[in-house]
Amino acid sequence: MIRFVFSRFVYMVLTMAAVSVIAFILIQLPPGDFADSYANKRQQAGAPITTEELDNMRHQLGLDQPWHIQYGSWVSNMVLRGDMGYSWEWRRPVADVIGDRLPLTLALAFSTLFLMYLIAIPIGIYSAVRQYSATDHLFSTAGYVGLATPNFLLALILMYLGQKWFGQSVGGLFSPEYQDAPWSWGRVGNLIEHLWVPVIVLGTAGTAYLIRTVRASTLDELDKMYVMAARAGGLSPMRLLLKYPVRMALNPIVATLGWRLTYVISGAPIVGVVMSLPDTGPLFLHSLLNQDMYLAGGMVLIYCAFTIIGTFISDLLLILIDPRIRMQGN
């Protein structure tokens, strides 16, 4: 186990390093930089800046240096001092800008993941046990519709229904009176009242996919010889189902936990823009549009960290629930 954890830790560090280089290069690929973006805004506002002022700005921000020097400075500050850089657009440290929105993003992501697995696992198992029944066809049809419906369209529909049926404005995550209020039980309750729409929007396609995955995995296990032998030995159907096929069918579900978390978070920008959510989705999109490279790079690293940590947790859970993997590890 110690050897496994150490090898995974090395893998995490190397992956983060590779992602940081790739992300930094991709962010700098579009023509121009933050200084050009700032100059365009000043031009549109009727207060243009001179070429000399633009060059001075690039020099002050370090944008006139080669990309590898900018990257080295960014990474060294992050590793040695925990400094993720400075957001030129927000005029604040990147860590502070992200930290303001990260808790709400995590609350939304984990709420969505919890409901996805809570709904998908029992429905997928039931559909496998009742294969080709009317209920199975109903769940399959609903799953295909969920997979085919765009997130932004579903968000607009649910916002309209929430306003029409409940008289509730579900745009954003808080009512106006709780928007900038300190945390309290009232603010938590208000968050829960507004959380149901983004959770449904972000979780619909993932839930539909997981239902199909659980169904297929369970059907595959039910057709194996050990299940037939246990059934012939007189084991009750429910005990047989829970003791053998379900445990084995959960392996691919647990294995997808890491990228499912990233899938939920990466799907948030479009939903966040449509619903005006104060999470990291619109922040990431805003940083890319304004070429705020340190903020955009910090966001990419955080998304990558979620994926790697989620995958690591998935591997640990697989070791715990599947003795075959433990034996292979030994």
Give pLDDT tens digits for 34-76: 888 888 888 887 878 888 888 888 888 888 888 888 888 888 8
Q: Containing H/E element for 92?
A: strand 92-93
* Domains of the chain and CATH, by start: 105-281 (1.10.3720.10)
Question: How far is 148 from 20, CA to CA, in rounded Å?
Answer: 33
Question: How far is 306 from 64, CA to CA, in rounded Å?
Answer: 32
Using alpha carbons, select from 286, 306, 305, 304 the residue that is nearest to residue 295: 286
Answering whether pTM is above 0.85, one says no
CA distances to 124, 211, 302 from 309, rounded to whole Å, are 26, 24, 10
Query: In this structure, what are the phi and psi dihedrals at residue 87, rounded to the nearest 5 degrees?
Result: -85, 115
What pLDDT, on a 0 to 100 scale, did the predictor assign at position 9? 81
What pLDDT, on a 0 to 100 scale, did the predictor assign at position 119? 93
Query: Do 74 and 24 form a contact (C-beta atoms < 8 A)?
Result: yes
What pLDDT, on a 0 to 100 scale, did the predictor assign at position 324? 66
Residues of the chain with pLDDT under 70: 1, 168-172, 266, 322-330
**Residue 86, SS3?**
strand
Dihedral of CA 165/153/255/126: which sign? positive
Question: How far is 176 from 106, CA to CA, in rounded Å?
Answer: 22
